[in-house]
Structure 1
Amino acid sequence: MRKMFAILFGILAILAFVFLNVSQAQAVPEGQLPTGSIPTVTGTVAGPMVRVNTAGSEEFINIRSGPNTIFPKVGLLLVGQEVPALGKSAGGEWIQIAYPGVEGGKAWVYAFNVDVDPGFLPIVEPPPSPTPEFTATIDPTLAAQFVITVEATRLPTYTEPAPIQIPTFEEKAFNQVPGGIPVGLIIMVLGIIGILLSAFSFLQRR
């Protein structure tokens, strides 16, 4: 019997707790939606942008303080990174970008390493060329060690060569033998001898 009363008391306690929570929830006034106008965000047209392309083999490009390699490096951009473009050099080889990390908030990148969208950019006056950090001077003591003194040398003397002996040849007549006897005379004598021998031979046959 006591057990039944305990169960009944527990059920009544639970019902009373639920009833109180529902009553408190209804007593809280509902939140009112704002009646004022909600401002709308209207975006403005973005200016020219440059995007680092993958034309080179490096994963980044250098940023310089001016449109030339003689200007010092002031930072770098990673491949795929986009930054606002402000202008270009007279030849179009360099692009001026907004770079807050340097003095003046402006820097330059090589145009071959970036893509410009949209493509029109105004021509910007470049900054003055940087002054060299040091001036090359020649140490006179060191330079004196490399001065070569050429000693005067005697000019060679010219000796006239001996005269050339031209050999001379005696001309000999073609109608003479070495002894000076004419060739025609020898032929004539031989002919007479031949005739005599022929006549002698003819007479012997008879």
Structure 2
Amino acid sequence: MKHFWFKFLGMILAGFAISVAAFPSQGQVRASGEAQSGVVVTVTYSEPINVRGGPSTVYYPIVGQVSPGDVLPALGVSPGNEWVQVSFPGAPGGVGWVYAAYVTVSGGELRVVEPPPTPTPLATATINPTFAAAFISHPTETRMPTFTPPPPLTAPHYTDESAQRSGGLASGAVALSLLVVAIVIYLISLAISRR
């Protein structure tokens, strides 16, 4: 059983060593880029940025990431100068694209490079005609509703009954009499309390 674990551990270490040796370090990438053209880009964005297979966030996949401060050899710019083509060993063909607002170009001018063709989608949208025919509906024709006018509106008519009443007690007189009664009761209670 111990022998099995040693073989297993040895295979894992060998695989790790091969993977480390296969990819160049960032220092090797920087040195090779500066030696080739002299034009480099430095990542100025505060967080890691994506390296894409082409100059678009919609049509091209992410092929890697670079960290703030990384320096990559620049190969060209997209029409409109929105994307910069860089040498990126992790990308197919060794070429990737970074968004120009996140990097600073130094060491010279870059030529305009045509973007690669957009990748074809794995599945194209085709419509099954018999399946689509099941959802086609033909509405049945119905008569339009007819307009029926509403009945005429009759406004209610109110009469002023207070003007017709002549022999009633006025509300002001009632309030005045209640005030007089209240004052009399107050004076009586004041006189009783002083005795």
TM-score, normalised to structure 1's length?
Answer: 0.48
Q: What CA distance in whole angstroms lies between the structure 1 residues aligned with 2:90 and 2:141?
A: 66
Q: What CA distance in whole angstroms lies between the structure 1 residues aligned with 2:49 and 2:96?
A: 12
1:143 aligned counterpart, secondary structure? helix
How big is the shift at 1:135? 0.4
How big is the shift at 1:126? 1.8
Where structure 2 has 5 or more consecutive residues not aligned to the other structure, the ranges are 1-33, 149-195
Cα contact 2:54–2:97 (8 A) shared by 1: yes
Partner of 1:201: none
Partner of 2:187: none
How big is the shift at 1:137? 2.0
1:97 aligned counterpart, secondary structure? strand
Aligned pair partner of 1:80 in 69, 89, 92? 69
Cα 1:88–1:46, aligned 2, differ >3 Å: closer, same or farther?
Answer: closer
Aligned pair partner of 1:50 in 28, 41, 45? 41
Cα 1:60–1:127, aligned 2, differ >3 Å: closer, same or farther?
Answer: same
1:84-163 correspondence runs (5 A):
84-118=73-107, 120-140=109-129, 142-155=131-144
Instruction: Please identify runs of 4+ aligned residues in structure 1 that moved more than 4 A.
Output: 43-46, 155-159
- Greater gyration radius: 1
Cα contact 2:45–2:68 (8 A) shared by 1: yes
Q: What CA distance in whole angstroms lies between the structure 1 residues aligned with 2:97 and 2:83?
A: 6
Cα 1:123–1:62, aligned 2, differ >3 Å: closer, same or farther?
Answer: same
Q: What CA distance in whole angstroms lies between the structure 2 residues aligned with 1:84 and 1:90?
A: 19
Amino acid at match of 2:44: N
1:103-151 per-residue CA deviation (whole Å, 9 max, x = no partner) reads 3211111101111113521111221222122101224455344333211
Amino acid at match of 1:62: N
2:101 aligned counterpart, secondary structure? helix
How big is the shift at 1:155? 4.5
Cα 1:157–1:71, aligned 2, differ >3 Å: closer, same or farther?
Answer: closer
Cα contact 2:77–2:85 (8 A) shared by 1: yes
1:74 aligned counterpart, secondary structure? strand
Greater relative CO (CA pairs within 8 A, separation 6+): 2
Amino acid at match of 1:108: W
Aligned pair partner of 1:67 in 39, 55, 58? 55
% identical aligned pairs: 50
Where structure 1 has 5 or more consecutive residues not aligned to the other structure, the ranges are 1-42, 160-206
Cα 1:102–1:45, aligned 2, differ >3 Å: closer, same or farther?
Answer: closer
Q: What CA distance in whole angstroms lies between the structure 2 residues aligned with 1:108 and 1:44?
A: 20
TM-score, normalised to structure 2's length?
Answer: 0.50
Q: What CA distance in whole angstroms lies between the structure 1 residues aligned with 2:129 and 2:111?
A: 51
How big is the shift at 1:94? 0.6
